[in-house]
């Protein structure tokens, strides 16, 4: 691995952001809108007299769900920018390796996810007096699991676009939304039908959201859930990376990369 080549991938996306400030808008606006929307909804429900902690459970779920989406899109968007601008040829005509390119995408995702997370957490605290730090030490584990899983979705999204061409991006954007009913963002996994519970058991975010509710509503936390969720997240990112490498090799061998680039002109 060459750190200079990895840094070059990150810097390319950094220059895109800094030279077109409007790109920062899409990084922060969706998380900010989610927090404001769900915050006022849960505040209204709390004022209705119910004893259930709507604000902490729902708003915490909204923060974590959007963090997955930011990590996912933070990884896939720089690669999509390269595909849209036909820049992949320039990258891979150089000594750049696949692994270095992927790590560069992850570094870009760290930047965008961090910016979005700071905005969401700040709004939740300043407007609704909700502090995510109330989750305590498990918070760090939760964030790492969600970030790694989001990165795996981002890599999967890039792989889909490489395989099916620019039109494949329509499969990329709704990934987080499609998975959200299975992972129990706003309700326990136990309320789902059995077939959906079976899917939930193999999705890392399920263990994060269940752990969050357990801490908030019952004051307890099962450490084993954190380890299971972490192990699954690592497995997902490894499988996604290996799949990306294989698809890239097939696309180059079959000439699909050149064909997709010609379609985008």
End-to-end CA gap in the chain? 32
Predicted pLDDT of residue 23: 61
For residues 141 and 212, the answer to whether their CB atoms sit within 8 Å is no
Supply angle C-alpha 165, 66, 243, rounded to 5: 35
Mean pLDDT of the residues in the chain: 79
Give the model's confidence band at 27: pLDDT under 50 very low, under 70 low, under 90 confident, else very high. low
Predicted pLDDT of residue 82: 78
Number of H helices, E strands in the chain: 12, 0
The structure's pTM equals: 0.78
Q: What is the pLDDT of residues 217-238, one digit of tens each?
A: 777 788 888 899 999 999 999 9
Predicted pLDDT of residue 231: 95
Q: What is the pLDDT of residues 51-108, one digit of tens each?
A: 455 666 677 778 888 888 888 888 888 888 877 777 766 676 677 788 888 888 888 8
Task: Kindly state the average pLDDT of the residues 184-190.
Answer: 81
Give the model's confidence band at 20: pLDDT under 50 very low, under 70 low, under 90 confident, else very high. low
117 has a pLDDT exceeding 80: yes
Predicted pLDDT of residue 156: 92
SS3 content of the chain, % helix, strand, coil (to 5): 85, 0, 15
Integer angstrom CA distances of residue 202 from 37, 124, 173, 228, 230: 30, 30, 21, 9, 11
Integer angstrom CA distances of residue 163 from 15, 33, 76, 106, 235: 27, 33, 14, 20, 22
């Amino acid at each position: 691995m060459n750190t200079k080549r990895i840094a070059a991938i990150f810097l390319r996306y950094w220059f895109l952001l800094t030279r077109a400030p409007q790109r920062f808008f899409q990084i922060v606006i969706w998380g900010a809108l989610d927090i404001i929307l769900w915050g006022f909804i849960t505040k209204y429900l709390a004022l209705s007299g119910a004893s259930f902690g709507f604000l902490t459970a729902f708003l915490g779920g909204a923060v974590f769900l959007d963090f997955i989406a930011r990590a996912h899109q933070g990884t896939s968007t720089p690669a999509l920018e390269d595909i849209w601008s036909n820049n992949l040829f320039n990258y891979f005509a150089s000594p750049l390796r696949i692994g270095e390119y992927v790590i560069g995408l992850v570094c870009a995702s760290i930047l965008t996810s961090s910016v979005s997370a700071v905005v969401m957490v700040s709004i939740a605290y300043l407007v609704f007096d909700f502090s995510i730090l109330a989750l305590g030490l498990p918070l760090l584990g939760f964030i790492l699991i969600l970030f790694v899983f989001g990165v795996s979705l981002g890599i999967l999204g890039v792989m889909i676009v490489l395989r099916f061409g620019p039109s494949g991006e329509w499969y990329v954007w709704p990934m987080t939304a499609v998975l959200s009913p299975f992972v129990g963002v706003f309700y326990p996994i136990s309320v789902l039908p059995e077939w959906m519970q079976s899917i939930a058991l193999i999705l890392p975010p399920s263990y994060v959201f269940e752990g969050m509710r357990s801490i908030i509503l019952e004051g307890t936390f099962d450490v084993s859930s954190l380890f299971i969720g972490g192990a699954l997240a690592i497995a997902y990112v490894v499988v996604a990376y290996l799949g990306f490498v294989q698809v890239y090799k097939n696309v180059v061998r079959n000439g699909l990369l050149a064909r997709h680039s010609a379609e985008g002109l």
